[in-house]
Amino acid sequence: MVCTQITDNLSIGDGYPLTLIGGPCVIESEYFTLKMAEKIRQICDRLGISFVFKSSFDKANRTSLDSFRGHSLEAGLEILQLVKDRIGVPTLTDIHESYQAATVAEVVDVLQIPAFLCRQTDLLLAAAATGRAINVKKGQFLAPWDMKHVISKLEAGGTKRILLTERGTSFGYNSLVVDFRSLPQLRSFNYPVVFDATHSVQLPGGQGSKSGGQRQFIPYLARAAAAVGIDALFMEIHANPDLAPSDGPNMIPLVNLEHILKQILCVRAGLEVASQPEFNAKN
C-alpha cells in the first residue's frame, strides 16, 4: 500500500481521502494567514477533504531582488504555530537552507523542498534527519525517473515519510508544460503523488521583473491530474490574487476554491465507479 503518514491523525495515499495542500504563497500577516486557513479548512470540512495549510515564511527564489520575500524565520514560524493551535490543521512550509530544517521541524508537520533545490544533497539529508514528512517538488529540469536519486538521498537520511510533487517541466522561455505520464511514473516509486496545479501554470519571469501565470487553466489541469490519479492536490489560494505580493497570477481566488474541489471529487468518484467489477463487466 502506498501511504505516507503526515501526523497521528492524517495520512496521504491508498485508502485515504483526497488531501488539499493549500494556502497563500507567502505569509503576509498574522490576521490574513489565520483567516485564510480558517476559510479553507471550512471548505475542506464540508467536502470531506483532508487539509494541510501551506504558506512560506520566505520566498528565497523570487525573480527580482526587490520582490517581497516574506517575514523572518522566527516571525513566520510563530504565525504557523498559531495556525496549528487556533485552526487545528497541519502545516507545511518551504526550507531553503540546511540549517533551517531542524528549527522549522519544531513547528511544521511537513518540510517542503522547492523544485529548484530538489537535488541539494545536504538540504535533503538535513530535512530527512528531522523525522518530519518531506514533500519534495520535482525540479522543472528533471525527468520523472530521475527522482529516484532524490528519493535515495532522503531514504539514506533515515526517512520514508515522503511525498512527490509534480509541478510542470520547463518548456522554452517563461513557460512550463505538464506531462501527465509523470504522475504514474512518480507513483511507481511507491510514494504518494501530489499535483501542484498552480505552479504548473506559472510563467517564470514572464512579466520581466516578476513571474506571470495563467490561472484560468488551473481547473483544467487539476481535473486532468485527478483523472490520471493523484493522492493530494497542491494549490496556492488567495482572497484577492491580483493584490498578492507573490505569485498572484497563478493563485486560485478563494471564492472559486469550493467549485474546483467539487469538480475534482466528481472526477475521483467517476474513477471509483469505473474500477468496480460490475461496471467493467457491463463495458
Number of H helices and E strands in the chain, helices first, is 9, 15
- Provide the number of structural domains found in the chain: 1
Judge whether 55 lies within some domain.
Answer: yes
Judge whether 147 lies within some domain.
Answer: yes
pLDDT tens-digit readout, 13-48: 999 999 999 999 999 999 999 999 999 999 999 999
β-sheet bridge partners, residue 166: 195
Judge whether 9 lies within some domain.
Answer: no
**Per-residue pLDDT for 65 more than 60?**
no
Q: Of 282 and 160, which is predicted with more confidence?
A: 160
Per-residue pLDDT, 135: 98
pLDDT tens-digit readout, 230-263: 999 999 999 999 999 988 899 999 999 999 999 9
Per-residue pLDDT, 78: 97
Judge whether 6 lies within some domain.
Answer: no
Judge whether 131 lies within some domain.
Answer: yes
Buried b (16+ CB within 10 A) or exposed e, 77-96: bebbeebbeebebbbbbbbb
Q: Of 7 and 67, which is predicted with more confidence?
A: 7
pLDDT tens-digit readout, 173-224: 889 999 999 999 999 999 999 999 999 999 887 665 667 788 999 999 999 9
Judge whether 97 lies within some domain.
Answer: yes
CATH number at residue 258: 3.20.20.70
**Could you tell me the residue range of the domain that residue 159 belongs to?**
16-275
Q: What is the pTM of this model?
A: 0.92
In the chain, alpha helices (H): 30-47, 73-82, 100-105, 121-129, 147-156, 182-187, 218-228, 254-274, 277-282
* Residue 102: C-alpha distances to residues 32, 76, 99, 128, 131 (Å): 26, 15, 7, 10, 9
| SS3 per-residue string spanning 10-37 | EEEECCCCCEEEEECCECCCHHHHHHHH
**Per-residue pLDDT for 125 more than 90?**
yes
Judge whether 160 lies within some domain.
Answer: yes
Judge whether 240 lies within some domain.
Answer: yes
279: exposed, middle or buried (Cβ count in 10 Å: 0-12, 13-18, 19+) = exposed
**Per-residue pLDDT for 84 more than 70?**
yes
β-sheet bridge partners, residue 153: none
Q: What angle is formed at CA 252 by the lines to CA 249 and CA 255, rounded to 5 degrees?
A: 130
254 in Cβ contact with 36 (< 8 Å): yes
